[in-house]
């Protein structure tokens, strides 16, 4: 028995050493291949620590940097995620264990989220080349082209997206807005109506631009109905009510216009926004038409305080100085 004791001790120590290395490899991976498993199971902090150790030994390990960026993204640390993926892009992903489509999708998303639209657009155009039947790539590229006022390219991309996914209301809505900007009213009207058939929520954008099309065609009653529906949204409430008020003014219904514009002013959240300035300016004009000059001047004063050269507001304030019920506002 005593002769076997050294052998037993060696076996026990060996077992402990083996267990130690197994546990260490699980808790502290030494190779990038083990990182995706940690991320997939939600162990992002462990993945981050392990990736950093691998990168410390080899800063050019693209797989580890990709996994580090992916883990940061899962933790919503987008700036850090983008920095890592940019490094991966510089290192190159060819012949690396990095899925190109997933990599470029995430990179495009991060670029767009960090206001690097040009770079995001490049990635979506590359993705279109990789998978030319994927509607969302055309949709995202179309929106980015639109942000850069390249409406012809935007329309092409969105048209292709609508062709590939004809039941996506968001695609048709975006396409309709672009077509409206390109002064293609008939095509825009068709696209926006298709959008409304498929949108289950957030229909206000489509209603707003349908209202613009109808107003341009001087169909003021129909336009007012569309703007009424658009005004249900917080995003479009002020501008839709201003447009609706304009429709009533065009029809000679100043009292109805006044009600819409007062409601628009009550809904203002950003006094410097263009729609807020228009709401107050036109409300002042309505008060002017019914000879309530104190109220008119109060609205124009607020416009002047934010933008002194807004339309003819400065001229109006000079013209009607005698109607002020209080001391003139200071104008720098």
Contact partners, residue 55, CB within 8 Å, separation at least 6: 61, 64, 65, 68
CA distance 208 to 196: 12
The dotted CATH code for 28-98 is 1.25.40.10
**pTM for the whole structure:** 0.81
In this predicted structure, the answer to whether residue 328 has a pLDDT above a threshold of 60 is no
Mean pLDDT of 103-130: 97
**At 35, is the pLDDT very low, low, confident or very high (cuts 50, 70, 90)?**
confident
Confidence (pLDDT) at 95:
86
Task: Mark out the alpha helices in the chain (DSSP H runs).
Answer: 5-27, 35-40, 44-57, 62-74, 78-91, 100-113, 117-130, 135-147, 151-164, 169-181, 185-198, 204-216, 220-230, 237-250, 254-266, 274-289, 293-306, 313-319
Q: What is the mean pLDDT of the chain?
A: 89
What mean pLDDT comes out for the span 154-172? 97
Question: What ranges do the domains of the chain cover?
Answer: 28-98, 119-199, 220-332
Q: Please tell me the CATH superfamily of domain 119-199, with its number.
A: Tetratricopeptide repeat domain (1.25.40.10)
Q: Quick one: pLDDT at residue 17? A: 39
The answer to whether domain 119-199 and domain 220-332 are alike in fold is yes
- Per cent of the chain over pLDDT 70 is 88
Residue 314 Cα distances to 21, 40, 206, 318, angstroms: 79, 62, 35, 6
Summarised one tens digit per residue, pLDDT across range 64-106 is 999 999 999 999 999 999 999 999 999 999 889 999 999 999 9
Structure token digits, residue 267: 């809904």
Q: Calculate mean pLDDT across residues 303-328.
A: 86
pLDDT class for 31, splitting at 50, 70, 90? low
Q: What's the average model confidence in pLDDT over 287-310?
A: 94
**pLDDT score of 20 more than 50:** no
* pLDDT value for 11: 53
SS (H, E, C) 67-127: HHHHHHHHCCCHHHHHHHHHHHHHHCCCCCCCCHHHHHHHHHHHHHHCCCHHHHHHHHHHH
pLDDT at 34: 77
Model confidence at 5: pLDDT above 70: no
Instruction: Return the CATH fold of 220-332.
Output: 1.25.40
């Amino acid at each position: 028995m005593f002769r076997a004791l050294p052998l037993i001790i060696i076996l026990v120590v060996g077992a402990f050493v083996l267990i130690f290395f197994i546990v260490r490899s699980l808790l502290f991976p030494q190779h990038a291949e083990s990182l995706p498993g940690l991320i997939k199971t939600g162990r992002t902090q462990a993945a981050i620590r392990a990736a950093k150790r691998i990168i410390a030994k080899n800063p050019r390990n693209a797989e580890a940097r990709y996994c580090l960026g992916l883990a940061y993204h899962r933790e919503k640390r987008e700036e850090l995620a983008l920095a890592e993926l940019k490094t991966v892009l510089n290192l190159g992903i060819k012949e690396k264990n990095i899925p190109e489509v997933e990599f470029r999708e995430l990179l495009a998303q991060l670029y767009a989220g960090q206001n690097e639209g040009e770079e995001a657009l490049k990635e979506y155009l590359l993705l279109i080349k990789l998978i030319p039947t994927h509607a969302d790539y055309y949709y995202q590229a179309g929106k980015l082209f639109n942000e850069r006022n390249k409406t012809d390219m935007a329309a092409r991309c969105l048209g292709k997206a609508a062709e590939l996914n004809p039941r996506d209301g968001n695609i048709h809505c975006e396409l309709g807005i672009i077509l409206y900007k390109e002064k293609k009213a008939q095509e825009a009207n068709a696209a926006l109506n298709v959008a409304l058939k498929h949108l289950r929520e957030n229909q206000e954008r489509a209603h707003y631009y349908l209202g613009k099309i109808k107003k341009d065609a001087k169909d003021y009653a129909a336009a007012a109905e569309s703007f009424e529906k658009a005004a249900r949204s917080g995003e479009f409430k002020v501008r839709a009510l201003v447009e609706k008020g304009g429709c009533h003014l065009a029809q000679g219904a100043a009292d109805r216009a006044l009600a819409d514009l007062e409601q628009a002013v009550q809904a203002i959240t950003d006094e410097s926004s263009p729609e807020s300035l228009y709401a107050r300016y036109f409300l002042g004009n309505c008060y002017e038409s019914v000879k309530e000059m104190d109220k008119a001047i109060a609205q124009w004063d607020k416009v002047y305080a934010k933008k002194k050269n807004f339309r003819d507001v400065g001229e109006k304030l000079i013209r009607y100085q005698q109607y002020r019920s209080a001391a003139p506002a200071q104008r720098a």
